[in-house]
Chain A
Amino acid sequence: MSSTEQGTSSAAPAEPTTAPESAAAPEVPESFYYVHGKDKVVHKVSAGALQHSALIHGMISNLGYTEEQAKANPFPFENIDGDILQMVVDWCNQHKGKPTPPEDTNLPKQKEKLFDLVLAVNYLEIKELLTYCCKQVAMMVKGKSPEEIREIWMIPTDAEDEAAEKEAKKRAGKEAAGETAAAAGDAK
């Protein structure tokens, strides 16, 4: 098991700024959860970091797992590649309990990685990271010509769209014919 744990110290709960230091509430030990992606590599993440994900936050908010229960029941995200999940976990850890900056320059530059990251972040409902990613995706085509945009975002031409539509219709027709034939065979 690999872990992305950011040290073992617990994050101190936010205190009212007016409270005197001597009256500070005792630190509550931070709880941790476990997630894994398609590659089954398990990542240990604090509940504080996971708050960025509306999906996971909703899942864990009423669980009340003990450390052992959490370890035994990692959340599976089979639709997310391991390296992408690692990126997401790293981002959540880096921005745990901090206000998110207006820009994030640490996003992947390779377009396929960014594409997968956007899908993962959208699925996990991490709003701020999704905003950064979408900005980055938009920046990829800034000032480009239609032809360059087509290449970067793999946009089919009208002719390709028409051909694909024809092909889909043909396939649907064949499938319908096959179903009719099968139904007729069953009837016999």
Chain B
Amino acid sequence: MRLLQYPRLVREEIFSNMEYETIFSLSLTSRNLLKLLKQSKWKPIEVAFVFDWRKFQIHFGDSTAPLELISKTFDWYDIFPYGFFCGQQVHKLETKGESREEIVMRMYNHISELFQKCQSLTFGARISASDTSYYVPIPSLNIATFKVWTSKYLTTFMKNHLDLKLLVLEEQPTKICSIKRFREVPDIINIRNLRVVCFEKHFLAYMRNFKGVNAYFCGPTEAYQIRNFVYGWLNGQYSENLNLIHIEQEDGERFGPDLLENYRQNQWDLNKMPLEYQLDEGDKYYTQFPGPFKMENAVYVQRESDGKILSLQNTSRVFIGCVWNHEDVFKE
């Protein structure tokens, strides 16, 4: 069967039925095939580069997802620099003595070329190694996930990746990792979307330095911390850009039913006020909970200095705070 003898539209139909992993393998067969494939218009794709101890991996899909949930990865080991391991197979690659860094960049360029007509090509990196020197800087990186980090390294990383839209920090629970330096919070987190799994430090430690727009936290959270956040917001302690804070309790932990009792006098009136909160279109992709957030049972506080409104809602597991402009809530 000669694929290249099919008319172009038939080839396109065949390609549209293939998974991205197979498209990637196909693109490695020859330069002519790559030329053909890059003419196709692909649906949005996220490509993840995972950097770990003496190896890197490529997979297609959610770059922030834990590796054990990824069904197919292309693994490159420094001790076997001849190709990718994919399940039981070896995908041989002519390397011409290239270093690991050169192979990473070759694959980045190859994938960028292959999916150049994609509606939206997102690159993510997961840095799993405690030695961050194993990371090879990916140009146009949109998402970065860290398991271990230092404040200094994260600060430099953010400066070097100005396209970064989402930073994910996965703190290790104390019982697994007790090295203090891994939990430092950078002085400034200037990324639009932040997602943190907190164990050692609670969300306020991150919020103080967060200068972005949407923040998501998962971890044990006390009622007094929520009250401190609301108080801090009323006093302008957090980012001017802040639009949304979403906090999810760790498994087993619950918010009490009286979490927002102090603010009940300002009940959200669904007859007069917006029914739901929408995130910016551009942010939806980078958030775990893209909304819209229904305003049922919400309460609110208003900041005197600029008239902005902070709506507050909670269930037993989740607290959501949304920032509104005064005129968007109280329409004349």
CA distance A138 to B15 in the complex (A): 7
Please determine whether A156 and B10 come into contact, CB atoms closer than 8 angstroms: no
Chain A residues contacting B72 (CB-CB under 8 Å) are: 143
Q: Is the C-beta of A155 less than 8 angstroms from some C-beta in chain B?
A: yes
Please determine whether A145 and B14 come into contact, CB atoms closer than 8 angstroms: no
Please determine whether B22 and A158 come into contact, CB atoms closer than 8 angstroms: no
CA distance A144 to B10 in the complex (A): 21
Interface-central residue, A134, A135, A155, by most chain B CB under 10 Å: A134
Please determine whether B86 and A145 come into contact, CB atoms closer than 8 angstroms: yes
Number of interface residues of A (CB under 8 A): 32
Closest chain B CB from A110 CB (angstroms) = 9
Please determine whether A149 and B26 come into contact, CB atoms closer than 8 angstroms: yes
CA distance A135 to B15 in the complex (A): 9
Please determine whether B1 and A115 come into contact, CB atoms closer than 8 angstroms: yes
Please determine whether A146 and B1 come into contact, CB atoms closer than 8 angstroms: no
Please determine whether A154 and B2 come into contact, CB atoms closer than 8 angstroms: yes
Q: Is the C-beta of A56 less than 8 angstroms from some C-beta in chain B?
A: no
Closest chain B CB from A157 CB (angstroms) = 6
In this complex, the interface size class of chain B, counting residues with CB under 8 Å from chain A, is 20 to 34
Known contacts A142-B19, A161-B30, A161-B32; decide if A149 and B14 are in contact (CB<8 Å).
Answer: no
Chain A residues contacting B15 (CB-CB under 8 Å) are: 138
- 0/1 string, B26-37, CB within 8 A of A gives 1: 101111110000
Segment from B89-97, B195-203, B281-289 that makes contact with A: B89-97
- 0/1 string, B141-168, CB within 8 A of A gives 1: 0000000000000000000000000000
Please determine whether B30 and A155 come into contact, CB atoms closer than 8 angstroms: yes
Q: Is the C-beta of A111 less than 8 angstroms from some C-beta in chain B?
A: yes
Q: How many A-B residue pairs have CB under 8 A?
A: 88
Q: Is the C-beta of B18 less than 8 angstroms from some C-beta in chain A?
A: yes
Please determine whether B90 and A145 come into contact, CB atoms closer than 8 angstroms: yes
Interface-central residue, B1, B10, B18, B87, by most chain A CB under 10 Å: B1
CA distance A142 to B19 in the complex (A): 8
Q: Is the C-beta of B4 less than 8 angstroms from some C-beta in chain A?
A: yes
Closest to A116 in B: B1
Q: Is the C-beta of A137 less than 8 angstroms from some C-beta in chain B?
A: yes
Closest chain B CB from A8 CB (angstroms) = 36
Q: Is the C-beta of A103 less than 8 angstroms from some C-beta in chain B?
A: no
Q: Is the C-beta of A41 less than 8 angstroms from some C-beta in chain B?
A: no
Q: Is the C-beta of B6 less than 8 angstroms from some C-beta in chain A?
A: yes
Closest to B31 in A: A158
Closest to B15 in A: A138
- 0/1 string, A139-152, CB within 8 A of B gives 1: 11111111101101
Closest to A112 in B: B1
Chain A residues contacting B92 (CB-CB under 8 Å) are: 145-147
Closest chain A CB from B104 CB (angstroms) = 19
Known A-B contacts: A130-B13, A146-B92. Give 4 more (CB < 8 A).
A119-B10, A145-B86, A155-B4, A158-B32
Q: Can you name 9 A-B residue pairings with CB atoms under 8 Å?
A: A122-B10, A130-B13, A141-B18, A142-B19, A145-B25, A145-B92, A149-B29, A157-B30, A158-B32
